[in-house]
Structure 1
């Protein structure tokens, strides 16, 4: 069961494409996608107003039931990174060798979780300095895979991002 369940984080002002593209791609591949919210509210809206109701609050997540986590960008990661339960999820999955995937500004969550030091990673150019200052080697590539850590830059990178996620979960 746990091999087929993946968490997808959400918070206010998430990036529509970076949330919905992996959501449907993972479902299409047969995964149960569990939408995880911070618990601050019942419904979160995207940059363009698309509402999402989380399946569970971050504090109730049991990482032993998950194969990994996908963290979308937008402005949401700025709020996700201050949620201790979301950071704990990332840390536990990372330390257990399970999938941790982020795109665009979601690298901020990886930084706050303390999982990028000594790793190769990418994200949108706006957080390049943040990743470097956190000890990551920044690579300007559509997708960077370093062990169980998968990172991408922008929505145009979503096909390569999702392909690598599915390869990791195979």
Structure 2
């Protein structure tokens, strides 16, 4: 497990919040992707893409699961019918680990970091949820070849 400690810079993002079963997250991702194309405010080619889970999909009841699909922006989000709004991923120290492969199996990278590395490191979880920085773009990159950096905010 290769973990880096980094100083993450505050990042403004456009966000679409998914609420409901994790199995339906793909529908929210598609809606967000369409907003990106239609608005031009967060172009995939030049803007980072993030995801913010507000709970563990393995333990959160499906009806209560929340996940923000996000794209970096440099201007305020214009009013839109898609439900996309602006939010900020705050600056701070983070532990980062790279996950390779489908995000369906991201827990295989995240859980050892949280359950093994974190207690042994002497570090403490920060106040912001864990977040993902997607380094690959679908469908250009097959899901089994995806690269995702997992950020765990620290105090």
**TM > 0.5 between the two?**
no
In terms of fraction of residues, the more helix-rich structure is 1
In terms of fraction of residues, the more strand-rich structure is 2
**Greater RCO (CA < 8 Å, at least 6 residues apart):** 2
TM-score when normalising by structure 2: 0.27
TM-score when normalising by structure 1: 0.26
